[in-house]
Structure formats: structure tokens, C-alpha cells
Amino acid sequence: AQTVTQSQPEMSVQEAETVTLSCTYDTSESDYYLFWYKQPPSRQMILVIRQEAYKQQNATENRFSVNFQKAAKSFSLKISDSQLGDAAMYFCAYLVGNQFYFGTGTSLTVIP
């Protein structure tokens, strides 16, 4: 069974500081994709970052980066220089065979 676990229901970070959101997944597949999505109060799902499992290099998008540990099946998201606009629900997701499996989400609060 494919499962995605986000062990932190809520996190908070001071503005301009760095925060790391954790995610682990369970799979027997070798070819898959991992994503972090942000869902602000508008409820629109916004792609933050994406990682192909066959790539060893960690993906980076401006202030967002991941620590992908394939053997450990871990895919954490680091947000640097946190901004007020980063406050949202963050979902880790695993995609295989055109089907998404989502984690339960982490609610991030940014403290001014």
C-alpha cells in the first residue's frame, strides 16, 4: 500500500527564519514523483516543488528546497527566509502511475 505520512500537523516559524516540514512515504515502486503543494486559505492547490525519484540531486526552487532520502523514503521541505505569504497548509504528495497519494498536511503559521 502507498502511504504518505506528515507527522507535524502544525508548525510555526518566525518571519525570515527557516523551517523544515517532514514527510515520509511507503512504496515498493522504483519510479515515482514527489511533490510539495501549498494550499492557502483560498484552497487553490499550488505546486511548490517537485522531485523525480530517479534524480539524486535535491530539487530547489528559490527559497524552497527538499532533502530527498530515497533509501529512507523521506522527503522534507525546507523553507528559508520565511515570509508571511508562506502561511498555508502544506501537503506532501507521492505520484505513481498517474495516481496521487497525499499526506494529511502540515499547517504552517508565520509569526511576524
Partner 1 sequence: GAVVSQHPSRVICKSGTSVKIECRSLDFQATTMFWYRQFPKQSLMLMATSNEGSKATYEQGVEKDKFLINHASLTLSTLTVTSAHPEDSSFYICSASWGATEQFFGPGTRLTVL
Give least dist CB 50 to partner 1, A.
7
Cα gap 55→27, rounded to integer Å? 17
Beta strand extents in the chain (DSSP E only): 3-5, 10-14, 19-21, 24-26, 33-39, 46-52, 60-61, 64-69, 74-79, 88-96, 99-102, 106-111
- Binding-residue total with partner 1 (CB under 8 A): 21
Q: How far apart are CB 10 and partner 1 at their closest, in Å?
A: 10
Judged by CB under 8 A, the chain residues 32 through 91 that form the site for partner 1 are 33, 35, 37, 42-45, 47, 50, 89, 91
Minimum CB distance to partner 1 smaller for 80 or for 104: 104
Alpha-carbon distance of 22 to 76, in angstroms, equals 4
Give the rounded distance of the alpha carbon of 20 from its chain centre. 9
Nearer to partner 1, 76 or 91 (CB): 91
Q: Which stretches of the chain bind partner 1, using CB under 8 A?
A: 33, 35, 37, 42-45, 47, 50, 89, 91, 95, 97-100, 102-105, 107
